[in-house]
Amino acid sequence: MSADALLGRLEKVKATGPGRWISRCPAHDDKGPSLSVRLLDDGRILIHCFAGCSTADILVAGGLEMADLFPEKLGNAKPERRPFAAADVLRAILHELAVVTAAADYLLEGKAFTEADHTRLRQAAERLHTAIAIAGGNHG
């Protein structure tokens, strides 16, 4: 499958660079873009959901199979050492930081959180920890 065909199955697709996109993840109720898509020079397509959805879940939700992420013949493909650009990770982090900032402002105004607010704030923390781990950093 081509990258264009894959991107056609996703919502809110935005190019982040040559051969790189971010979109809503089809495997969960994604309000913001958390799915990173990258097309490698050899035709392979890499996908990663910063919310933690597995590749298998993303593929099923998108009506795809694992084989759709690979060209028919890989030839002499070299393994990709850094599948996601730092800029892509930073964009995802920036979105989650906006959620945390909004929560802090809400608390400063003396407003109480709903259960949904708590859930989303925990999700933001998990996504930030995941992004740090993917970037090779330590988080505790």
* pLDDT band with cut points at 50, 70 and 90 for residue 88: confident
- As a whole number, the mean pLDDT across the chain is 82
Helix 86-108 crosses helix 115-134 at what angle (to 10 degrees)? Answer: 150
Is the CB of residue 27 less than 8 Å from the CB of residue 55?
no
pLDDT of 12-56, one tens digit each? 899 999 999 999 998 988 888 999 999 988 888 899 999 988 888
* pLDDT band with cut points at 50, 70 and 90 for residue 83: low
Mean pLDDT score, 64-69:
83
Q: What is the pLDDT of residue 14?
A: 92
Report in angstroms the alpha-carbon separations of 129 from 2, 54, 136: 32, 16, 11
pLDDT of 110-133, one tens digit each? 988 888 888 888 888 888 877 777
